[in-house]
């Protein structure tokens, strides 16, 4: 085997690896963006219907879908321009090498403890709060526009930030790793028509950032003191303190541990059934 043939094999491996990495991050960002996921599913449905119409011989349906497929990409770019732009921005914000700090078990437990303590105080005192935890998708765009703090996390600091008449209490706190990066952050609000119309700006902002990124948003209602968590494009409303704690623990668990936990659960179910 010559040096040129070895170099040719290496180039082929690099070429295939780059393509797979690109596809991986595209699909990952589609998964994190609810609107783009729905758009992608809609396109797949149209393609499946077109294949079925050709197989069965539905001439009219096939003729219409041919025009849809021919002009569809241009129409999608025009109609869904904001969503496509948001997906590209999200791809640009993605941390390819995992810039964020990987927390140890003790650090995660302390993080959840401090947040829950602050949430409990705000709940009892009817103080509105919005706490956002950054994960794989960077929130640096929002951090840059907010008031930088870069302080160690503590429930006392969180409570003081959200205390009424504090200039920063209306915005959100963003946490990176186990440190508070900023306060007073402003997020895009969700346009989800299924969201209860009685919910205010905090809840809509929490869901908005959870739809655009993989962040975790914790909300305390100023009017009712109820706790809600927005994650993966869904808003879980009126949670108990224990439910909120368990959800945070589950969502902050590293992916490797999640996979091991899923395997353990499957083994337990199998043993119970047999």
Sketch the domain layout of the chain as residue ranges: 3-93, 105-257
Looking at residue 96, its pLDDT comes to 44
Q: Are 132 and 223 in contact (CB under 8 A)?
A: no
Give 165's DSSP letter: T
Average pLDDT over residues 35-61: 78
CB-based burial of residue 171 (10 Å sphere; 0-12 exposed, 13-18 middle, 19+ buried)?
Answer: buried
Q: Are 114 and 154 in contact (CB under 8 A)?
A: yes
For the ranges 46-60, 81-95, 123-137, 219-233, the lowest mean pLDDT is seen at 81-95
Looking at residue 270, its pLDDT comes to 43
Q: How far apart are CA 228 and CA 116, in angstroms?
A: 12
Architecture of domain 105-257: 3-Layer(aba) Sandwich (3.40)
Q: Which of 217, 220, 131 is nearest to 179 (CA)?
A: 131
Q: What is the pTM of this model?
A: 0.64
Q: How far apart are CA 247 and CA 239, in angstroms?
A: 10
3-state SS class at 178: coil
Average pLDDT over residues 102-114: 89
Looking at residue 17, its pLDDT comes to 87
What are the two backbone dihedrals, phi and then psi, of residue 223, each rounded to the nearest 5 degrees?
Answer: -80, -45
Q: How far apart are CA 9 and CA 168, in angstroms?
A: 57
User: Confidence class of residue 31 from pLDDT cuts 50, 70 and 90?
Assistant: low
pLDDT (tens digit per residue) in 227-250: 999 998 899 999 999 999 999 999
Q: Who has greater pLDDT, 264 or 58?
A: 58
What are the two backbone dihedrals, phi and then psi, of residue 233, each rounded to the nearest 5 degrees?
Answer: 75, 10
User: Confidence class of residue 176 from pLDDT cuts 50, 70 and 90?
Assistant: very high
């Amino acid at each position: 085997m010559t040096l040129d043939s070895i170099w040719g094999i290496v180039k082929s491996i690099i070429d295939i690896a780059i393509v797979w990495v690109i596809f991986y991050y595209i699909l990952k960002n589609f998964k994190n963006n609810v609107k783009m996921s729905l758009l992608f599913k809609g396109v797949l449905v149209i393609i499946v219907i077109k294949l079925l119409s050709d197989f069965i011989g539905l001439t009219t349906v096939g003729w219409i879908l041919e025009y849809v497929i021919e002009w569809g990409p241009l129409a999608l770019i025009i109609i869904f321009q904001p969503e496509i732009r948001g997906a590209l921005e999200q791809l640009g914000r993605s941390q390819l090498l995992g810039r964020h700090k990987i927390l140890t078990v003790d650090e995660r437990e302390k993080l959840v403890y401090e947040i829950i303590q602050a949430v409990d105080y705000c709940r009892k005192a009817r103080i509105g709060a919005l706490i956002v935890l950054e994960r794989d998708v960077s929130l640096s765009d929002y951090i840059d526009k907010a008031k930088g703090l870069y302080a160690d996390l503590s429930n006392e600091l969180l409570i003081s930030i959200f205390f009424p008449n504090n200039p920063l209490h209306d915005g959100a706190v963003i946490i990176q790793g186990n440190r508070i990066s900023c306060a007073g952050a402003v997020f895009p609000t969700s346009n989800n028509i299924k969201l209860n119309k009685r919910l205010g700006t905090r809840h809509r902002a929490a869901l908005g950032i959870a739809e655009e990124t993989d962040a975790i948003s914790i909300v305390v209602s100023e009017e009712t003191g109820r706790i809600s968590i927005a994650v993966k494009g869904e808003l879980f409303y009126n949670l108990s303190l224990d439910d909120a704690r368990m959800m945070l623990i589950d969502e902050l668990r590293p992916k490797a541990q999640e996979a091991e936990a899923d395997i353990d659960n499957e083994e337990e179910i199998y043993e119970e059934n047999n």
